[in-house]
Amino acid sequence: MPPHGASLLADITNDGLVTMKDFAAQALYWMTAQSRQPGDLNRDGLVNAADLVLLAEDWLKQKSGPPAADLPIEIEAKAWDFDGLVSKISELVTN
Ligand SMILES: [Ca+2]
């Protein structure tokens, strides 16, 4: 189940997109009756076809703004040589 404030109901994995990952997460609990489980999008306590319909309605949608996978990631590395000199490399990487 997406966290409070998420814009897409079916974004179970909370990565900003509704894809096979969300379908797989829902399928893990298919026909399981239990409260507060991932995939129970209508929150009736059972993961079934009604929830699959809700997932299909959001299929391949993404929340506004760039998906998490496209946000820049900062990579930082430090290295020391024999003299104790420190080298630092920072890089911003995007997909
Ligand atoms: Ca349900």
In a domain, 36, yes or no: yes
Q: Is 62:13 a contact under the CB 8 Å cutoff?
A: no
For residue 7, what are the contacts with CB-CB under 8 A and spacing of at least 6?
A: 63, 64
Per-residue pLDDT tens, the chain, 95 aa: give them. Answer: 545 544 799 999 999 999 999 999 999 999 988 888 889 999 999 999 999 999 999 999 998 765 555 666 666 666 777 777 777 666 666 65
**If you measure from the C-alpha of residue 28 to the centroid of ligand 1, how many angstroms do you get, rounded to a whole number?**
13
> What is the number of domains present in the chain?
1
Q: Which residues surround ligand 1, an ion (CB under 5 A)?
A: 40, 42, 44, 46, 51
**If you measure from the C-alpha of residue 30 to the centroid of ligand 1, how many angstroms do you get, rounded to a whole number?**
10
In a domain, 13, yes or no: no
In a domain, 5, yes or no: no
Q: Which stretches of 1-95 are assigned E, i.e. beta strand?
A: 73-80, 86-93
